[in-house]
Structure 1
């Protein structure tokens, strides 16, 4: 008996020891688990993002034309256009709440009831079908976290959601969320989505469209109506049913919306809708002022000077460019540029930087020889130095050092008036004028009118007489030359060209407002006199193909080797310049400024002035309208004797215009570059004017 009791006692002791051991081990494991859990929790919380700063997601910038119409949407990785909650339709807000988080206004950022419901649904389905995340949690994930499905990320999401609820109101959270979520097709946020799928602002969406949008974020690629209309329509019905279930709309409203046809309008949110060269010019200026990040991420609104009607007219006119060849880079030649500016405000109204879509903007970046299009700077300098339209200049042989400038006809007319020198673009009298007044005066007025490309020092200085005929070391850009001619149209006042009117931040702050930069360069009387003389160029001189049936003035320009051809002219309302040349600076097959450039200018200006009242230039001298022609046309035989066909194919001609004959083209060609001599009196031998037209 005693032996049996002892054995029993030993067994009890063993069990007690084993139990204690298990308890101790269990406690140790429990403590370790708790410790690891706390450590994991602490590590997760310590590495969560800081909410000290407000949520400011990257936003696209928009560029608008002069009438406030959007012409470009600029963004980096994410196309997003944030909008205020007041601009989001109530139906769209309610649709998201009904289908994503029906207890949004009741929970504190996380919804235990929703989590339990989601877990039970997932257990029943034996797969993850519901996430249980609230709108606040989704905002936390999208704004601060990665999309990884890990425990660490989920813990961070929960704590961030709780913080967000303390930091923001429910309406602020909903606004942030609806500007954050992805809708497929590269669209982030409800505004970008509305424009992508329906071509309208979010504030204008119907109930039908709201329900469709609210259904997309669950699976943006699958439920995109552009990818899968059937699935998108079924998802829309689910959203509408949820809205009925939670009392946001009636069953009748839902049924009506389900039966409505949905019109999907694919709108490209990337890039530019029309004036790509102009937009590139604007972006270049913006980047210099604000940096690339501001353009692509800060949601700027950039209001510009471009007029899309004039832009369309310019692009259509440039179709008259002939086609000669395609270069090694696959670019059709010749190329061209057209710029149109309001001479009174400096607003750039149209800009074409070339044919095709290559990235080189010739309107701004191409520095080319101006030919006789430079001569007005010599003529206006003469007017400012006591010359008059009736001043008589000798048109007889001239030798300056080793240089003997020639007129196109190789003939001389003896005594000619300044107005006839302008009208027929005579070379020798132009050089005599520059020699008389000093070439520095012509350079001065050109600089004051905005030409910035002179070389005034060194072995290839522009301070020589060849520049009187447009022979420059570097050349000019179409933008600057066109802007300079605007001085004549604006009664002697030059206004710097402007592309950007104002820039507004995403918060509505005006960052930039245009300030007109203008200066009085020449007298109003001399500007009017120049205009009157250049009206004769179009009426009866080298630019007759530019006639548009209303007061207009202009000047042709061609280099002696036919590398560049220009026509720059203006009305009281608009100044426009056209340049044509090969990118390789090669032969244009006899094209002169009075030919295709004048034809393009005419085509553009006719459309630009359609429907506008006819305006006359103020203060034009009486001779501008006179038929008096006391001096015989010094180039009268040139058209009959010099017939040169432009090689290549023309894409068309305006009514009544032809560009195959040289009638009406410039009378004289000029050097394509300046002589290397710095002497104002003796350009280097061998750089003389060759036969051609300008």
Structure 2
């Protein structure tokens, strides 16, 4: 026996040494292929980019993987215990691999013939998830063991556990327990019940097979296993086990909790982030992007545009149901209720519109089933608008009964208004609204269409459309720099110009075709006189006009070098137009629009802050800007004025700064330093901007002449808002294919546009609907009727928090009493005179003669009529 024992002992020792040698040899064999495990301390979890409003509301998130990184102390102990009990009960005892667990798994395999119990520790899973693939090969398993042992030498158990719980795949593109809690339950991890925690802890084994949404029964069975393991390990009591095991499986898919509808803004931010960082870093670094919009301004813009497009669409008639599900006139049976709801659940919904199916038609009402499992009634007030759409210029007769409009089986669009359902339809028209802070260019609100789901084309930034009379303020600005004043007379009379290249006469017309004869510049712009604009462009010259318009940021290639430019033939985007109007509003400074205020990394470190050029309201009237300082002031004076300006803007609007050098990974040893803002370049004089703003104020408020009041084209805005610190301009293109309104206040500049994406369609005409009484919009569509309501709605909301400002008159502006008929100085004040503003040195020097006709007939006198 002793001899055999010694032989056995020698063989055992030999095998032991051979095993150790084999392990050492294997280690050195695969060592060149092992990753540098030290990099795990520098790992950046793939976390989606999130886009927020300036006031911290989530707008959107972008990225392939859903992840909410959590520190180990932010993960509830119950969640940790659930994973430990299920995945690795000896986690705190083993060195990275668990020999006892391996033996136990092997024993179960030998006894059953199946691998019913895994032997991988949490540390091994971390090694696999961070460094290896999931291929089932011996060499991969050996690598996994060595990496796990190395990880245990580098990190604490808590650090390993945190990496695991933030990395593990848990289905539905959710990675980590934070994302899983949100995706399945719409909660944070500390809000989960024991039963919900157990469901999540059971997912790592097979996320798709055990998914509580796709496979609730499988999830229930796996939850029972997790709860039993927690009970066996002493983490929960029998009573807690019984209660949690009896709960129903309540999981349902929860997308990102979008708190503010601003999809067009989010897409703009996404594109900028990709340009800054590239797709991989933009989508996977967990960047938090804060935009310049706020909840109130964006909601106001959303409502303004959507309501305006729906209003336009409805007054042009009902285009019929979306589809017909059954036709009772052909003997087809009505669908059962569940089939209707199943069909509706598959349909998209857009903004305020939901699909519904008509189930019964009564004399003056219809009964409907609405997407989401709701039933309702649409009474006559929600139906009577729906006369038949014939074409863009013609509507059918008003309906007399509900059956004139729809039939049972029709699928339609409905919207809720004051708890009442209203028959509606998806607008054929498109539109855009964009608002800017005129002092720094921050985009306050932007909507690029009726619904981003319907069309991702951002008409606010991408749609180049003819601007019509919205171009005129910039043309008049050029005229003011070329010997014109607000009091200069121009002949508002028809033009008949032979065009040899076309072989016919060009006859530009006013709209409406009313001609006032000699008219002052102020009145001509306020009334939007087309022939006056043509005469001005002829007088100044097309070349100088285009050169002047380019100062406002318009690209010369978008400005046709023809006289039609005076009528708005240029094609510009709403954002370009709003930016140009902001220059008039801020006193002549060329600000640049921006939408990203700041960017933080996944840990809250600032890595980018916008530094917009600022309009300088403290600068003198004739001071140009160069290199961030003002000419004509000492450096100390300029800096003092600039500091005061920035302080004011930051206090009022919450402005931020920017950077050109962006590092997406913050370096704690070298904190990010945001650059300082500079004064924006002045492109027109303060006097020029003030005078154009004055004329645009008259477009809102009109004036008097010969004892009678006249209206400007924007009179509806004055009546609606009733404040004197606003100004604006309508715009309508040939045949009303595009309708515009651009307007300003000291706090915001906004442009609204309405038109069809199909350029061949016209906005048309809406006839009187006898069902609606006098509270309706009828007649031809144009800027003041079609686009201005959106601008008014937005400004009414935005300005309610901003006090009306008194007019600020620049130092180089003088006032003179003029005669309204001639524009010359008046020696008396009366009903036909007014106090007019002039840039110093341009005011009239002549007084109106006793015989006013002399001013037009005496060839020896200098004429004031252009």
What is the TM-score normalised by the length of structure 2?
0.61
2:163 is aligned, of 176, 181, 184, to: 176
Partner of 2:98: 111
Partner of 1:481: 577
**8 Å Cα contact 2:58/2:259 also seen in 1:** no
1:253-287 Cα offsets, whole Å, 9 max, x none, are 66666677886463214999732222222122122
Once the 2 structures are TM-superposed, how far is the Cα of residue 587 of structure 1 from its aligned partner?
3.3
Listed as ranges, the matches of 1:265-304 within 5 Å are 266-269=253-256, 274-304=261-291
Partner of 2:8: none
CA change 1:57–1:32 in 2 (3 A) is same
1:449-495 Cα offsets, whole Å, 9 max, x none, are 332x3228xxxx734443232223xx111111112212233343342
Partner of 2:66: 79
Once the 2 structures are TM-superposed, how far is the Cα of residue 249 of structure 1 from its aligned partner?
5.3
Partner of 1:649: none
Listed as ranges, the matches of 1:560-599 within 5 Å are 560-590=734-764, 591-599=781-789
SS at match of 2:784: coil
1:542 is aligned, of 691, 701, 713, to: 713
Distance 1:490 1:88 in 2: 51
Name which of structure 1's ranges 551-560 and 265-274 shifts more when overlaid on structure 2. 265-274
Once the 2 structures are TM-superposed, how far is the Cα of residue 497 of structure 1 from its aligned partner?
1.0
Partner of 2:601: 505
1:597-650 Cα offsets, whole Å, 9 max, x none, are 1223233333444x52552353379xxxxxx99679xxxxxxxxxxxxxxxxxx
1:32-55 Cα offsets, whole Å, 9 max, x none, are 999999987766554444435333
CA change 1:286–1:629 in 2 (3 A) is farther
Once the 2 structures are TM-superposed, how far is the Cα of residue 445 of structure 1 from its aligned partner?
4.8
1:398-421 Cα offsets, whole Å, 9 max, x none, are 566735533234443222112211
**Is 2:57 the counterpart of 1:69?**
yes
Partner of 2:418: none
Q: Which runs of 5 or more structure 2 residues have no equivalent in the other structure?
A: 1-15, 323-425, 500-505, 615-679, 702-710, 765-780, 811-817, 823-866
CA change 1:409–1:75 in 2 (3 A) is closer
CA change 1:108–1:426 in 2 (3 A) is same
Once the 2 structures are TM-superposed, how far is the Cα of residue 313 of structure 1 from its aligned partner?
3.4
CA change 1:184–1:149 in 2 (3 A) is same
**Is 2:249 the counterpart of 1:60?**
no
Pairs aligned (count): 586
Partner of 1:358: 455
Listed as ranges, the matches of 1:260-659 within 5 Å are 264=251, 266-269=253-256, 274-319=261-306, 320-321=308-309, 322-323=312-313, 333-356=428-451, 357-384=454-481, 387-398=484-495, 402=499, 403-440=506-543, 442-451=545-554, 453-455=555-557, 462-472=560-570, 475-518=571-614, 519=680, 520-539=682-701, 540-547=711-718, 548-551=720-723, 552-590=726-764, 591-609=781-799, 611-616=800-805, 618-619=807-808
Listed as ranges, the matches of 1:113-262 within 5 Å are 113-202=100-189, 205=192, 209-233=196-220, 235-236=222-223, 238-248=225-235
CA change 1:211–1:395 in 2 (3 A) is same
SS at match of 2:272: helix
**8 Å Cα contact 1:339/1:482 also seen in 2:** yes
Once the 2 structures are TM-superposed, how far is the Cα of residue 134 of structure 1 from its aligned partner?
0.6
CA change 1:616–1:241 in 2 (3 A) is same
SS at match of 2:612: coil
Distance 1:116 1:259 in 2: 34
1:325-361 Cα offsets, whole Å, 9 max, x none, are 99xxxx9743222212222332222222223432322
Partner of 2:86: 99
1:153-177 Cα offsets, whole Å, 9 max, x none, are 2212111111211222222211111
CA change 1:394–1:500 in 2 (3 A) is same
Distance 1:446 1:201 in 2: 54
CA change 1:135–1:437 in 2 (3 A) is same
SS at match of 2:286: coil
Distance 2:31 2:470 in 1: 71
**8 Å Cα contact 1:81/1:191 also seen in 2:** yes
**8 Å Cα contact 1:550/1:614 also seen in 2:** no
**8 Å Cα contact 1:556/1:568 also seen in 2:** yes
**8 Å Cα contact 2:731/2:739 also seen in 1:** yes
Name which of structure 1's ranges 271-280 and 375-384 shifts more when overlaid on structure 2. 271-280
**8 Å Cα contact 2:59/2:263 also seen in 1:** no
**8 Å Cα contact 1:504/1:511 also seen in 2:** yes
Distance 1:208 1:580 in 2: 53
Name which of structure 1's ranges 347-356 and 395-404 shifts more when overlaid on structure 2. 395-404
Distance 2:464 2:106 in 1: 70
**8 Å Cα contact 1:532/1:620 also seen in 2:** no
Q: Which has the higher helix share?
A: 1
SS at match of 2:39: coil
Once the 2 structures are TM-superposed, how far is the Cα of residue 133 of structure 1 from its aligned partner?
0.9
CA change 1:441–1:90 in 2 (3 A) is farther
1:51 is aligned, of 37, 57, 60, to: 37
CA RMSD of aligned residues (A): 3.7
**8 Å Cα contact 1:377/1:443 also seen in 2:** no
Once the 2 structures are TM-superposed, how far is the Cα of residue 180 of structure 1 from its aligned partner?
0.9
